[in-house]
Amino acid sequence: MFIENLGLNSGKSSYNFKSGAKSISFNGMPHINSVGKSFKNNIQIVFSDIDGTISKHSDMMSKKTIDTVDFLHENNVPVVLTTARCYQDTLPILRQFSHRPDYTIVLQGGGLVNGSGNSLFENTISARAGKKLVKWFKSIRQNDKNSHLIMYFDEQPYSMSGIQFPWKSYSPVKQVNSFDDLFESKKQLQKAIIYKYDAARCPDYNQSDVINSFKGAHIRDLDIKPSGLSVLEFQNKWVSKDKAIDFLLRALKLEPKNAMVIGDSANDIEMMDFIRKQNGLAVAMGNADDFVKSHANAITSHIDEDGFSTAVGKIFDTLI
């Protein structure tokens, strides 16, 4: 059933690489210009983060980015977007493409959707684990009224505090008096986040303290991951971008060494490490933090300079 829904074009294209000028961009790590030759004809699939990689928080993409995805499509190279967003929140991005990406890994690896919008798998949080998370959060909330728990049931975010996102979202956060009715319903809990809206202006806030407190609560089925200073994300321990990538590669009968991943933030590190350690190409955006860059084996340009298109262009020896 899964394989029938893959819907990929068959055939491969070959490319001639002309090595560009060598340059160094981060602690001796090579720029994409100087590593492309070693991946000549090797890359058969491209995985790309969304926010900070192909799109700024306005959700708009450059013409070069759209043209790059078109180029890959025309050359039978599958494009897979990877994001912490729900699928509904990727639609403003997907609708800008002439040819939609072949797949979208959503919810940080908690779901996989094909290019037609059909869900291929979901990995949701149990009501038991969700209730434990709410109980623990209430202890945090007692001392920090500026932290807000937002829970996603069937792609709809809910909160008890009436908070709204400062970023674009397909669905506004619905306020509820309690999560109890949602847990008792047939709705699926896909993920939860803690949003600390004043984190950047609060010198006493230490995200590590919250992480350590959560670990001390021993909610066995859940894992916590930072996504920037203001957001902590909660999902099943076995959910991650790298596991979803591994699953898809196996289904498509492709090797990690033939994959390229590109991203800019801490929640992209797992997929970078997975591909890099198996001799694939892990690229960090020029706007990534130094810690993220240290997990890549090449650096590309800043998002303002179309770093995604630069990386693809160098690997496939084309001017986009």
Residue with tokens 């491209």: 46
Cross-strand partners of 282:
261
State the span(s) of the chain assigned CATH 3.40.50.1000.
34-122+240-315
In sign, the C-alpha dihedral spanning 263, 269, 275, 279 is positive
CB atoms within 10 A of CB 131: 15
Which residue would you say has higher pLDDT here, 188 or 199? 188
Average of pLDDT values for 281-289?
Answer: 95
Least confidently predicted of 34-43, 220-229, 287-296, 311-320: 34-43
φ, ψ of residue 158 in degrees (nearest 5): -130, 150
Asked whether residue 159 carries a pLDDT value surpassing 60, the answer given is yes
State the span(s) of the chain assigned CATH 3.30.1240.10.
127-236
Question: Angle at which helices 63-74 and 307-315 pack, to 10 degrees?
Answer: 30
Predicted confidence band of residue 102 (pLDDT cuts 50, 70, 90): very high
Q: Could you please state the CATH topology (level 3) that the domain comprising 34-122+240-315 is classified under.
A: Rossmann fold (3.40.50)
Residue with tokens 């009224």: 145
| Its pTM surpasses 0.85 | no
Asked whether residue 301 carries a pLDDT value surpassing 80, the answer given is yes
Predicted confidence band of residue 37 (pLDDT cuts 50, 70, 90): low
SS3 57: coil
Residue-averaged pLDDT of the chain = 87
CATH architecture, domain 127-236: 2-Layer Sandwich (3.30)
Cα separation, 317 vs 71, in Å, equals 12
Q: How many CA atoms lie within 13 A of 150 on its CB side?
A: 24
